[in-house]
Amino acid sequence: MAEPYYLTTAIHYPNGRPHIGHAYETIAADVLARFQRLRGREVRFQTGTDEHGLKMAQKARELGRTPRDLADEMSGYFRELFDKLNISYDRFIRTTEQDHHRASQAIWRAMEANGDLYLDRYEGWYSVRDEAYYDESELIEGEGGEKLSPQGTPVEWTVEESWFFRLSKYQEPLLELYHDNPEFIRPETRRNEVLRFVEGGLRDLSVSRTSFDWGVKVPGAEDHVMYVWVDALTNYLTGVGYPDDGDPLRKFWPADLHLIGKDIVRFHTVYWPAFLMSAGMPVPKAVFAHGFLLNRGQKESKSLGNTTDPGELADRFGVDPLRYFLLREFSFGQDGSWSPEAIVSRNNAELANSFGNLAQRVLSFIAKNCGGTFTATAPVLDVDSALQAKVRQACADELPVAFEKLAFAAGLEAWMQAVFACNAYIDEQAPWALRKTDRARMERVLATLCECIRNLAVAVSPVTPRASERILDALCVPADRRDFAALQGNERADTVRVDSPAPVFPRLELPAEAST
Ligand code: ME8
């Protein structure tokens, strides 16, 4: 039986169109989902939109629309984008869906039954943009002397009747959780931040609002809606059928990984496990916080006029080159700065000139000079087995080990080194010269290369699924030889068959205006 693997992204606020940060996170999660499937795991992969809360209500009011209408339109753009980016989600959840309201009310009742919810008055500094209250001590000063949240967003002194969650009760259990599971929060810097925060003491958390009604109603107190983060975090349980104690919940909970950005670590590693402990549910196995993407070193914003539509980037550069760039260029967990020039140069150097060129040179040579098929009979030389061993080590060992740790750039670096080794081998062995002098040796060289290309295409397929599929189709690789299990061992395929190879990674050019 395949081992289950439940993976989620954050759910995105559909108060505007998706930006490159949304694409980055979801592509990384998709790579991981595809990777785990190729490792033989039974994967459930969820993404979606976080549609409640004051931020949505205010944006809709500003536009003279209902929040539902705004959510319907914007959520549609997220879904369209993820389909374009070839995101293999099993569920795209919307928090306005019926089963999500049911799950949120169920977790609320479970926390209440455990004595962890009580009614009180709340006063504090509230940031609508972050949907969070802050302590006076956490605030920073803006340029005009005004108070701002630690994220630099405006805060307002707010007083309201509110339900509270006894977060303070969970300080010790949380510290124990972090202590017993050092991998629960990654990377290490984020873990240290959370440890410091929780060690500093936890205050009870305001978890309902009466000032607006766009949210999940509090059961038994219908003039309150839940604080948006209570319902948002619960999406991870909704997706596996909670509160029904059936197959998906039993099989996939606790989640293996919540993949999120660095700005929402506290919600996922403090509030969420505390809610779950209170509701008597197991906590997720791991939370990984990736870094932020900057546009030529700057945060994208409407006022700077540097916002990017990730769908347009995909149209301009291709889906697979964009996916490859995002995982190859930046160390996952750290911030990164992107530019069109960097996408083009990464694509041209590594995908077009190195891997694409290798595959195209070898496959079209076989199509032209061997009628598309042959069986190699000449002996395997040491150079052949050395190359094959190097490629196999990169594809079946180094890349998977790195990807398991979410060290995508390091895994792709090992893969790239194997591509370089193949290109060096092809130059040295010069099969085009052997065509006239030693056809049997030429066939052995080509068979060795085809096996290497199969390994390389399979290993990179979580990142470049369409291109890999086209290469594997051209190599006539059967469906059951396209996963990591099929890269084990020392087998060789002596019989090679190639069918209509075509270049899969074109060289990209920068339009004149972008290169100046
Ligand atoms: O935070 N680079 O939604 P969101 C990389 N609804 N990642 C970025 C980014 C950037 N420039 N900007 C944002 C929310 N992100 C909540 C989550 S989960 C139960 C609720 C990441 O639309 C961000 O860190 O503001 C988050 O993981 C995701 O995009 C959605 O952000």
On whether both 374 and 270 belong to a single domain, the answer is: no
On whether both 272 and 389 belong to a single domain, the answer is: no
Atom of ligand 1 nearest to the CA of 25: 7
Distance from the alpha carbon of residue 80 to the mean position of ligand 1, in angstroms: 18
Distance from the alpha carbon of residue 136 to the mean position of ligand 1, in angstroms: 25
CATH number at residue 278: 3.40.50.620
On whether both 365 and 481 belong to a single domain, the answer is: yes
pLDDT at position 513 is 56
Q: In the predicted model, what is the mean pLDDT of residues 174-184?
A: 98
Question: Does residue 7 surpass a pLDDT of 60?
Answer: yes
507 falls within a domain: no
Q: In the predicted model, what is the mean pLDDT of residues 429-457?
A: 97
134 falls within a domain: yes
pLDDT at position 435 is 96
pLDDT at position 515 is 45
Distance from the alpha carbon of residue 264 to the mean position of ligand 1, in angstroms: 7
364 falls within a domain: yes
Question: Does residue 411 surpass a pLDDT of 80?
Answer: yes
On whether both 375 and 235 belong to a single domain, the answer is: no
Residue identified by tokens 């000449």 is 378
- In terms of pLDDT, which residue wins out, 290 or 55? 290
Residue identified by tokens 């990164």 is 336
Q: Which residues are within 8 A (CB) of 196 and not within 5 positions of it... i.e. 6 or more apart?
A: none
Residue identified by tokens 């606790």 is 254
Q: Which of 238, 272, 292 to mutate to test the pocket of ligand 1 (most atoms within 8 A of CB)?
A: 292
Which residues contact ligand 1 via a Cβ below 6 A? 10-13, 21-22, 24-25, 50, 232-233, 235, 260-261, 263-264, 292-293
Contact between residue 493 and residue 450 where contact means Cβ atoms under 8 Å apart: yes
Q: Write the Ramachandran bin of 232: left for phi over 0, alpha for psi from -120 to 50, otherwise beta.
A: alpha
Question: Does residue 21 surpass a pLDDT of 70?
Answer: yes
Q: Determine the Cα–Cα distance for residues 300 and 244; give it in Å rounded to an integer.
A: 42
Q: Which residues are within 8 A (CB) of 402 and not within 5 positions of it... i.e. 6 or more apart?
A: 408, 410, 411, 414
Selection from 254, 202, 267, 174 nearest residue 228 by Cα: 267
On whether both 458 and 365 belong to a single domain, the answer is: yes
Protein residue closest via CA to atom 8 of ligand 1: 21
pLDDT at position 412 is 98
Protein residue closest via CA to atom 10 of ligand 1: 21
On whether both 264 and 367 belong to a single domain, the answer is: no
326 falls within a domain: no
- 444-499: pLDDT as tens digits: 999 999 999 999 999 999 999 999 999 999 999 999 999 999 998 767 789 999 99
CATH number at residue 460: 1.10.730.10
Measured in whole angstroms, the distance separating CA 322 from the mean position of its chain's CA atoms is: 14
Burial zone of 28 (CB within 10 Å; 0-12 exposed, 13-18 middle, 19+ buried):
buried
Which CB contacts under 8 angstroms, 24+ apart, belong to 112-118? 114/278, 114/279, 114/280, 115/166, 116/165, 116/166, 116/169, 116/278, 117/163, 117/164, 117/165, 117/166, 117/207, 118/163, 118/164, 118/166
Is the bond preceding 254 in cis, omega lying within 30 degrees of 0? yes
Protein residue closest via CA to atom 23 of ligand 1: 261
pLDDT at position 512 is 67
Find the domain containing 477 and state its range: 339-497
- 332-346: pLDDT as tens digits: 999 999 999 999 999
% residues pLDDT > 70 (the chain): 98
Distance from the alpha carbon of residue 333 to the mean position of ligand 1, in angstroms: 14
Q: Which of 59-63, 167-171, 305-309 has the lowest mean pLDDT?
A: 305-309
Contact between residue 191 and residue 185 where contact means Cβ atoms under 8 Å apart: yes
303 falls within a domain: no
Residue identified by tokens 């802050």 is 134
On whether both 92 and 184 belong to a single domain, the answer is: yes
Protein residue closest via CA to atom 30 of ligand 1: 12
314 falls within a domain: no
- 92-112: pLDDT as tens digits: 999 999 999 999 999 999 999
Q: Report the mean per-residue pLDDT for the chain.
A: 95
360 falls within a domain: yes
Q: Determine the Cα–Cα distance for residues 482 and 453; give it in Å rounded to an integer.
A: 12
Distance from the alpha carbon of residue 10 to the mean position of ligand 1, in angstroms: 6
Distance from the alpha carbon of residue 47 to the mean position of ligand 1, in angstroms: 12
- 241-276: pLDDT as tens digits: 999 999 999 999 999 999 999 999 999 999 999 999
Domain count for the chain: 2
Q: Which of 9, 15, 22 to mutate to test the pocket of ligand 1 (most atoms within 8 A of CB)?
A: 22
pLDDT at position 493 is 81
Question: Does residue 516 surpass a pLDDT of 60?
Answer: no
Atom of ligand 1 nearest to the CA of 12: 22
Q: Determine the Cα–Cα distance for residues 25 and 3; give it in Å rounded to an integer.
A: 24
Atom of ligand 1 nearest to the CA of 293: 2
Compute CA distances 445 → 74, 134, 387, 431, whole Å.
53, 65, 11, 7
Q: How confident is the model at residue 132 (pLDDT cuts 50, 70, 90)?
A: confident
pLDDT at position 429 is 98
Q: In the predicted model, what is the mean pLDDT of residues 204-217?
A: 94
Distance from the alpha carbon of residue 66 to the mean position of ligand 1, in angstroms: 23
Burial zone of 434 (CB within 10 Å; 0-12 exposed, 13-18 middle, 19+ buried):
middle
Distance from the alpha carbon of residue 117 to the mean position of ligand 1, in angstroms: 28
Question: Does residue 390 surpass a pLDDT of 60?
Answer: yes
330 falls within a domain: no
Contact between residue 276 and residue 114 where contact means Cβ atoms under 8 Å apart: no
